[in-house]
Amino acid sequence: MGAFLLLPKAFMGAFLLSFISICSLLPQSAVGITRHYKFDIKLQNVTRLCHTKNLVSVNGKFPGPRIVAREGDRLLIKVVNHVPNNISIHWHGIRQLRSGWADGPAYVTQCPIQTGQSYVYNYTIVGQRGTLFWHAHISWLRSTVYGPLIILPKRGVPYPFPKPHKEVPMIFGEWFNQDTEAIINQALQTGGGPNVSDAYTINGLPGPLYNCSAKDTFKLKVNPGKTYLLRLINAALNDELFFSIANHTLKVVEVDAVYVKPFETETILISPGQTTNVLLNTKPHFPNATFLMTARPYVTGQGTFDNSTVAGILEYGFPLNGIHSKDLTLFKPILPPLNDTSFATNFTKKLRSLANKEFPANVPQKIDRRFFFTVGLGTNPCKKNNTCQGPNGTMFAASVNNVSFAMPTTALLQAHFFGQSKGVYTPNFPISPIIPFNYTGTPPNNTMVSNGTKLVVLDFNTSVELVMQDTSILGAESHPLHLHGFNFFVVGQGFGNFDPNKDPAKFNLVDPVERNTVAVSPGGWVAIRFLADNPGAWFMHCHLEVHTSWGLKMAWVVLDGKEPSQKLLPPPHDLPKC
Ligand SMILES: *[C@@H]1O[C@H](CO)[C@@H](O)[C@H](O)[C@H]1NC(C)=O
Ligand SMILES: *[C@@H]1O[C@H](CO)[C@@H](O)[C@H](O)[C@H]1NC(C)=O
Ligand SMILES: *[C@@H]1O[C@H](CO)[C@@H](O)[C@H](O)[C@H]1NC(C)=O
Ligand SMILES: *[C@@H]1O[C@H](CO)[C@@H](O)[C@H](O)[C@H]1NC(C)=O
Ligand SMILES: *[C@@H]1O[C@H](CO)[C@@H](O)[C@H](O)[C@H]1NC(C)=O
Ligand SMILES: *[C@@H]1O[C@H](CO)[C@@H](O)[C@H](O)[C@H]1NC(C)=O
Ligand SMILES: *[C@@H]1O[C@H](CO)[C@@H](O)[C@H](O)[C@H]1NC(C)=O
Ligand SMILES: *[C@@H]1O[C@H](CO)[C@@H](O)[C@H](O)[C@H]1NC(C)=O
Ligand SMILES: *[C@@H]1O[C@H](CO)[C@@H](O)[C@H](O)[C@H]1NC(C)=O
Ligand SMILES: *[C@@H]1O[C@H](CO)[C@@H](O)[C@H](O)[C@H]1NC(C)=O
Ligand SMILES: *[C@@H]1O[C@H](CO)[C@@H](O)[C@H](O)[C@H]1NC(C)=O
Ligand SMILES: *[C@@H]1O[C@H](CO)[C@@H](O)[C@H](O)[C@H]1NC(C)=O
Ligand SMILES: [Cu+2]
């Protein structure tokens, strides 16, 4: 009966009887429907900050179209490539149970879709509801090719919080005046750090704090005394972001499409690859003021970065009584300092799974395999006989356990599925650092990384514990690590070197947050657990795109189980070829 509360009062009165009859016919486990989308990858002229850029877009939209589905639905998304670039699309955070061919990272689960070609991504949303997003997963094309992916609960199933008056996706991005493909290609040539963005954006709009940008401002028009669900998504290329709304409190209710124990905060921290649903209760009466909603980065690295601030405007829509909103007092939020690791730590500590009967936290309690990975930057020798622009004339690199991942030229998943891994990858990714050192102490003299296309192979249903340790080799830095194909539980986090004797005793195995992207603390570590119940080849990488480009990535292969229902399905007939 609780479901009645979800309906607006007028609706309830008029349709109570028919609602009851429909409800009784529809069991909650009703299978979903199939939803068809078409993504035409096209070039589109977009002007921001007085710069016009011919950028890669989906259906001529920037940001791209919104996908809305329900838990249990099947999605069939036909992607047609009309641009000169190769493309592939990733459905970030979707589990892709047995449908790994639809995951999307180029050269991992598929060859890219070439110019003039198309591919139908075909997958079912199983056991997930909340906010996710989709984005290009090749080179830096996700800088303009991204959009929200919203999964509503099954029909008739309420949220575990009061039904909001309205739901509003807000997707953060980074705007570059220059072509981002040129930026990363040049950086990989010179070995130096790539140029930083010119602005941050909310729903593609930089807002009034930039030159020539006031007309490109995201406005959220609200009524007093209502609850709004803001679906926040960080699609920025290289920056974690603080976000706050002046004079309003946010209640966090979900991250990465998993409900959390609600808590209130003035400011949230959101890393690239993460999503956060917050409830915004508007003021009970028209406040005679407007409020900025701002975001700017949380920065731990040593390089240059975009320290600018994106702003949107929260505007109370009525009764204006002849007052123009521009005449109202405008309040600005105070965001934490750019380097506020104390805030970041306190915020992430508050995130806990609901862990109740309806939404249990199925944390693996018994562990089959343990892994310890260092993550961080390093260097490669300068290939040319001149000097490169990385540290001391070298080239910037990044690695996991000192292996800088070399992308194959054919997709890992095909190589695995057809038993043709020879010459594509080797199954010998180091389970711990080959040469242990003081990871967060004085950096070692030798900063050079090794490279290879090395994978970890896991048996089906292996329960995994992975500790990821930041290194201080070129400065301690926060790295938002994203795992494809799984959610994981964040059972522990700390600073300094992980202590395998002392730290596990402090793990939270009761209600740790469950998510798909977690930031390794700068100069610290994070411990995650997951059950390898999804056969396929699964990418894991830093979601700061610059670090991914430098090699901070690796992949897992999860073998088929014995039962037919535990095996990867064969590839679709239209799977792109390399
Ligand atoms: C974008 O602008 C350029 C230069 O003005 C023009 O040549 C081109 O046709 C435009 N492209 C689109 C897709 O509108
Ligand atoms: C989508 O995948 C399912 C499961 O493999 C398959 O049965 C179905 O035919 C596919 N649909 C299309 C349109 O390819
Ligand atoms: C907004 O917050 C500021 C600073 O805390 C306060 O001075 C002001 O009165 C508040 N305004 C409204 C309309 O809530
Ligand atoms: C951002 O960086 C520029 C250039 O380094 C500096 O001049 C400016 O003060 C910085 N702004 C903020 C808000 O830190
Ligand atoms: C609302 O604000 C405007 C501008 O700050 C002011 O002129 C006006 O008197 C205010 N009205 C009320 C009802 O407070
Ligand atoms: C953060 O930056 C400020 C000003 O740049 C500096 O004084 C402070 O020591 C820094 N804090 C940390 C934790 O690095
Ligand atoms: C973080 O929490 C600690 C302990 O509660 C507190 O001392 C510190 O001030 C908090 N930091 C921030 C930035 O709120
Ligand atoms: C760089 O190497 C090329 C051959 O690899 C050689 O011809 C050239 O003279 C070298 N330049 C310098 C400045 O050493
Ligand atoms: C660069 O060289 C200087 C002097 O040899 C050394 O102190 C520094 O640690 C080196 N930096 C890196 C990143 O290797
Ligand atoms: C590692 O280096 C840090 C910073 O210099 C130091 O505090 C710590 O004691 C060192 N740890 C070990 C195990 O040597
Ligand atoms: C690193 O270099 C310093 C100075 O060149 C030297 O004294 C030290 O022995 C070196 N350390 C190692 C581990 O090679
Ligand atoms: C990988 O390492 C080998 C051997 O050290 C080196 O020759 C090669 O240039 C490296 N490849 C890349 C892409 O860094
Ligand atoms: Cu990183």
Instruction: Compute the residue count for the chain.
Output: 578
The helix (run of H) or strand (run of E) holding residue 182 is helix 180-190
Instruction: For residues 13 and 4, give the distance between their C-alpha atoms in angstroms, rounded to a whole number.
Output: 11
Q: Is 167-349 CATH 3.90.1150.10?
A: no
Alpha helices in 467-568 (DSSP H): 545-550
Q: Is the CB of 399 under 6 A from ligand 12?
A: no
Strands 479-483 and 51-58: unpaired
Which ligand lies nearest to the CA atom of residue 343 in the structure?
7
Long-range own/partner contacts, residues 53-59 (CB < 8 A, 24 or more apart): 53/177, 53/179, 55/144, 55/179, 56/83, 56/85, 56/87, 56/136, 56/141, 56/144, 56/145, 57/144, 57/145, 58/145, 58/147
Question: Is any atom of ligand 9 closer than 6 Å to the C-beta of 392?
Answer: yes
| The pLDDT of residue 323 | 64
Confirm or reject: Cβ of 331 under 6 Å from ligand 3: yes
The residues, any chain, with a CB within 8 Å of residue 75's CB and separated by 6 or more, are 34, 35, 37, 67, 69, 91, 121, 122, 123, 124, 125
Alpha-carbon distance of 72 to 494, in angstroms, equals 37
What are the structural domain ranges in the chain? 9-162, 167-349, 369-566
Predicted TM-score (pTM) of the model is 0.93
**Closest ligand to 341 CA?**
6
Q: What is the largest CA-CA distance in the chain?
A: 80
Residue that the structure tokens 């977009």 belong to: 46
- Closest ligand 2 atom to the C-alpha of 120? 14
Topology agreement, domain 167-349 and domain 369-566:
yes
Site to probe by mutation for ligand 10, drawn from 439, 440, 502 as the one with most ligand atoms within 8 Å of Cβ, is 440
Q: What tokens appear for 233 in the block?
A: 């998504």
Instruction: Looking at the CA of 385, name the nearest ligand.
Output: 8
Alpha helices in 26-74 (DSSP H): none
> What's the confidence (pLDDT) of residue 325?
67
Distance of alpha carbon 511 from its chain centroid, rounded? 22
Q: Do the Cβ atoms of 159 and 153 come closer than 8 Å?
A: yes
CATH topology assigned to domain 369-566? Immunoglobulin-like (2.60.40)
If you take atom 13 of ligand 9, which residue's CA is the nearest one? 391
User: In this predicted structure, what is the pLDDT of residue 327?
Assistant: 77
Residue 54 CA to ligand 1 centre (angstroms): 7
- Give the per-residue pLDDT at 276: 99
Predicted confidence at residue 516, as pLDDT, reads 98
User: What is the pLDDT at residue 154?
Assistant: 97
Helix or strand or coil: residue 366?
A: coil
Q: For residue 395, give the nearest of 405, 385, 409, 381 by alpha carbon.
A: 381
CA 149 – CA 202 distance, rounded (Å): 16
Establish whether residue 43 lines the binding site of ligand 1, counting it when its CB lies within 6 angstroms of any ligand atom. yes
User: pLDDT in tens for each of the 578 residues of the chain?
Assistant: 233 333 333 333 333 333 333 334 444 455 799 999 999 999 999 999 999 999 999 999 999 999 999 999 999 999 999 999 999 999 999 999 999 999 999 999 999 999 999 999 999 999 999 999 999 999 999 999 999 999 999 999 999 999 999 999 999 999 999 999 999 999 999 999 999 999 999 999 999 999 999 999 999 999 999 999 999 999 999 999 999 999 999 999 999 999 999 999 999 999 999 999 999 999 999 898 999 999 999 999 888 999 999 999 999 986 555 666 677 899 999 999 999 999 999 999 999 999 999 999 999 999 999 999 999 999 999 987 778 999 999 999 999 999 999 999 999 999 999 999 999 999 999 999 999 999 999 998 899 999 999 999 999 999 999 999 999 999 999 999 999 999 999 999 999 999 999 999 999 999 999 999 999 999 999 999 999 999 999 999 999 999 999 999 999 999 999 999 999 999 999 999 99
**What string of DSSP letters covers 386-408?**
S--SSGGG-EEEEEETTEEEPPP
Q: Is 391 in the pocket of ligand 9 (CB under 6 A)?
A: yes
Residue to substitute in 339, 341, 478 for testing ligand 6 pocket (most ligand atoms within 8 angstroms of CB): 339
Distance from the first to the final alpha carbon of the chain: 54
Atom of ligand 7 nearest to the CA of 336: 13
Sheet holding 227-234, edge to edge: 199-202, 166-175, 227-234, 275-281, 250-255, 258-265
Strand order in the sheet with 34-48: 51-58, 34-48, 74-81, 118-124
CATH 2.60.40.420 fits 9-162, yes or no: yes
Would the CB of 247 count as within 6 Å of ligand 3?
A: yes
* Confidence at residue 288, expressed as pLDDT on a 0 to 100 scale: 87
